[in-house]
């Protein structure tokens, strides 16, 4: 009989097995350790790479299909947003400063993540993790590109974004996110996976993307909301990869447990310090707030991260010790960070301001333990001074933490009236730290962190002025020279929001959008 029987399609599990297993061969004339040179030195032992499994069981053919769908959705929304002058629908022009922070602080990290996963994928001898790393590497470059495309529309109208990548590599506070990722990609491939795949993507990414994206949605920024959600749809896969990485490494050999624990401790703290920028964005920069930083930390770290570490306990992994310190800081972090940026607003690529009376009420309600007692008085004072024409700009460069590169502005855990300050002597030099955790990270790997490019040191050494600058001439203004080196325009890209060109333009354009000029 010559009857055509419809061939049954492979199920998801079989399809995943066919597409991610048996793709390798055993080398005959090259040694494995020459082909995969970074597999041994971190001390991680892997016995069976095939035990690795992506629980989404996503294969490349399905990957392209869903990614192209996401791209089509994203760009049609972006077109509509741009065509309808959507930028004039944001709550108020102060909101745009979150976009500046995002494109100069976060988007360049997406690109570095792309490189990092491409590198890690190349180094792993197992095809399962290699396929997963390849997908994530492609996701990350997509995120960088879509974010730049979405934000380029804002750049046509507003200041501070015009040379975001140049800024990312130079501006003092942007060295915080930059050095975080540089630290990760210069680690070995296993540490990179634990650092970014697990600690950042699984434990902390919800605190980065969900507040930014729902903040954008709440503040009428459809462009950011759309690229954010598009990126976030990939993050769910990255989180799954991160969790699988950890479980896989821990299951492979008990000797891996203490190494992984040290990395989790280190990278949870490193990532948390970077999230300082998110904390102040949530509490101070969004004209309409979604939730406070403290609430977000409680939902996404204390509840969700708590569940995660309870689950990992059976491997012998414990919740990082630094979380006790973080719990003490959650009432203070955003207020201390925003005060710092308010001080140093002459040297930033975005504007700062003091909260108005209603916003202070919101802060008091969200931070009943700390805001009125410690932060409201100084903010009211600054607001009054600004009203009298004495807007204060701090022009003295701060001392930086050698590890996280944040100025030493945080207070002692448990005592919000005293600056936390630690130091270490190493090979005849003195190094400064914001906390016991950053100090410990340095002490574990001093030869790595002595190489840190600290913006303040670099400015004092004369490395952050435009070429040909002569700092010895009379009346030399170092801040003005540094701003030029950052490719920022003094009085336009920096200083207070009040009186800024952004403020003026936005008011005028919004007026034109609602009236016949």
Partner 1 sequence: MSNVFIALQTNEDTRQIIEAIVQDNPHAVVNEQPAMVKIDAEGKLVVRRETIEELIGRSYDLQELQVNLITMSGNLDQTDDEMILYWNA
179's CB contacts (< 8 A; 6+ apart) are 404, 405, 452, 453
Backbone angles phi, psi at 413, to 5 degrees: -55, 120
Contacting residue, 311, 356, 444, 508, with partner 1 by CB under 8 A: 311
| Closer residue to partner 1 (CB): 135 or 260 | 135
| Closer residue to partner 1 (CB): 142 or 376 | 142
The verdict on 255 binding partner 1 (CB under 8 A) reads no
Q: How far is CA 318 from the centre of its chain?
A: 24
Interface region with partner 1, contact rule CB under 8 A, candidates 27-35, 166-174, 185-193, 214-222: 214-222
Residues 14-73 that bind partner 1 (CB under 8 A): 55-58, 62, 66, 69-70, 73
How many CA atoms, within 13 angstroms, populate the side-chain half-sphere of residue 127? 13
The verdict on 304 binding partner 1 (CB under 8 A) reads yes
Contacting residue, 306, 462, 471, 499, with partner 1 by CB under 8 A: 306
* DSSP annotation string for 19-33: HHSS-----SSS-HH
Residue reference for tokens 């280190």: 266
The verdict on 497 binding partner 1 (CB under 8 A) reads no
Number of residues located near partner 1, criterion CB under 8 A: 41
Beta pairing class for 411-412 and 415-419? antiparallel
The verdict on 209 binding partner 1 (CB under 8 A) reads yes
Taking the complex as a whole, the smallest distance from the CB of residue 209 to partner 1 amounts, in Å, to 8
| Closer residue to partner 1 (CB): 204 or 345 | 204
The verdict on 310 binding partner 1 (CB under 8 A) reads yes
The verdict on 75 binding partner 1 (CB under 8 A) reads no
Q: Are 172 and 456 contacting, i.e. CB atoms less than 8 angstroms apart?
A: yes
Interface region with partner 1, contact rule CB under 8 A, candidates 81-89, 210-218, 333-341, 408-416: 210-218
Q: Are 420 and 412 contacting, i.e. CB atoms less than 8 angstroms apart?
A: yes
Contacting residue, 89, 152, 155, 233, with partner 1 by CB under 8 A: 233
Residues 80-139 that bind partner 1 (CB under 8 A): none
Burial of 160 (0-12, 13-18, 19+ CB in 10 A): buried
The CA R_g of the chain, rounded to the nearest whole Å, is 24
Taking the complex as a whole, the smallest distance from the CB of residue 111 to partner 1 amounts, in Å, to 22
The verdict on 142 binding partner 1 (CB under 8 A) reads no
The verdict on 326 binding partner 1 (CB under 8 A) reads no
Q: Are 46 and 252 contacting, i.e. CB atoms less than 8 angstroms apart?
A: yes
Residues 383-402 that bind partner 1 (CB under 8 A): none
- Which among 16, 72, 21 is positioned nearest to 49, based on CA atoms? 21
Residue reference for tokens 């719990």: 327
The verdict on 205 binding partner 1 (CB under 8 A) reads yes
Q: Are 135 and 70 contacting, i.e. CB atoms less than 8 angstroms apart?
A: no
- Which among 180, 107, 116 is positioned nearest to 142, based on CA atoms? 107
Tokens standing for residue 218: 């709440």
Taking the complex as a whole, the smallest distance from the CB of residue 204 to partner 1 amounts, in Å, to 12
- According to DSSP, the residues that pair with 415 across neighbouring strands are 412
Contacting residue, 236, 419, 480, 513, with partner 1 by CB under 8 A: 236
Taking the complex as a whole, the smallest distance from the CB of residue 49 to partner 1 amounts, in Å, to 20
The verdict on 237 binding partner 1 (CB under 8 A) reads yes
Residue reference for tokens 């066919």: 18
The verdict on 145 binding partner 1 (CB under 8 A) reads no
Tokens standing for residue 285: 């920069």
Q: Are 424 and 439 contacting, i.e. CB atoms less than 8 angstroms apart?
A: yes
Taking the complex as a whole, the smallest distance from the CB of residue 83 to partner 1 amounts, in Å, to 20
Contacting residue, 20, 104, 206, 402, with partner 1 by CB under 8 A: 206
Q: How far is CA 480 from the centre of its chain?
A: 28
- Three-class DSSP category at 418: strand
Residues in the site for partner 1, rule: CB under 8 A? 11-13, 55-58, 62, 66, 69-70, 73, 205-206, 209-210, 213-214, 217-218, 225, 229, 232-233, 235-237, 239-240, 243, 247, 290, 303-304, 306-308, 310-311, 313-314
């Amino acid at each position: 009989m010559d009857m055509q029987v419809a061939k049954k399609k492979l199920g998801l599990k079989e399809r995943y097995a066919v597409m991610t297993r048996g793709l390798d061969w055993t080398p005959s004339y090259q040694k494995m350790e020459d082909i995969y040179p970074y597999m041994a030195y971190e001390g991680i032992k892997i016995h069976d790479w095939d035990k690795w499994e992506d629980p989404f069981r996503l294969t490349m053919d399905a990957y392209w299909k869903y990614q192209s769908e996401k791209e089509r959705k994203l760009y049609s929304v972006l077109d509509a947003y741009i065509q309808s002058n959507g930028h004039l629908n944001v709550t108020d022009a102060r909101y745009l400063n979150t976009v500046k922070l995002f494109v100069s602080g976060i988007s360049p990290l997406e690109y570095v993540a792309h490189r990092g996963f491409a590198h890690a994928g190349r180094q792993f001898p197992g095809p399962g993790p290699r396929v997963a790393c390849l997908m994530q590497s492609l996701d990350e470059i997509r995120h960088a590109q879509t974010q730049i495309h979405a934000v380029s529309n804002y750049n046509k109208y507003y200041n501070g974004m015009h040379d975001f990548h140049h800024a990312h590599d130079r501006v003092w506070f942007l060295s915080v996110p930059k050095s975080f990722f540089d630290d990760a990609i210069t680690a070995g491939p296993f540490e990179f996976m634990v650092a970014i795949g697990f600690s950042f993507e699984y434990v902390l990414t919800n605190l980065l993307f969900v507040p930014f994206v729902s903040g954008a949605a709440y503040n009428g920024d459809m462009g950011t909301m759309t690229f954010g959600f598009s990126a976030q749809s990939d993050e769910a896969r990255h989180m799954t990869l991160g969790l699988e990485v950890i479980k896989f490494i821990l299951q492979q050999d008990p000797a891996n447990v203490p190494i992984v624990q040290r990395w989790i401790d280190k990278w949870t703290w490193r990532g948390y310090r970077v999230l300082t920028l998110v904390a102040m964005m949530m509490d101070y920069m969004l004209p309409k707030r979604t939730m406070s930083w403290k609430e977000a930390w409680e939902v996404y770290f204390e509840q969700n991260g708590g569940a995660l570490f309870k689950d990992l306990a059976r491997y012998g992994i414990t919740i990082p010790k630094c979380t006790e310190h973080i719990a003490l800081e959650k009432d203070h972090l955003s207020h201390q960070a925003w005060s710092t940026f308010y001080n140093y607003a002459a040297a930033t690529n975005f504007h700062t301001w003091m909260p108005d009376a209603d916003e202070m009420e919101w802060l008091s309600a969200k931070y009943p333990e700390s805001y009125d007692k410690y932060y409201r008085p100084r903010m009211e004072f600054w607001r009054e001074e600004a009203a009298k024409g004495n807007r204060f700009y701090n022009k003295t460069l701060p001392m930086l933490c050698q590890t996280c590169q944040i100025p030493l502005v945080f207070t002692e855990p448990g005592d919000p009236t005293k600056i936390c300050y630690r130091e270490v002597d190493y090979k005849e030099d003195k190094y400064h730290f914001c906390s016991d955790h950053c100090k410990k990270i340095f002490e574990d790997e001093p030869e790595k962190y002595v190489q840190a490019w600290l913006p303040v040191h670099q400015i004092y050494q004369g490395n952050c002025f435009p070429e040909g600058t002569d700092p010895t001439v009379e009346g030399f203004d170092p801040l003005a020279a540094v701003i030029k080196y950052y490719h920022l325009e003094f009085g336009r890209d920096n200083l207070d929001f009040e009186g800024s060109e952004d403020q003026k333009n936005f008011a005028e354009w919004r007026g034109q959008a609602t009236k016949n000029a």
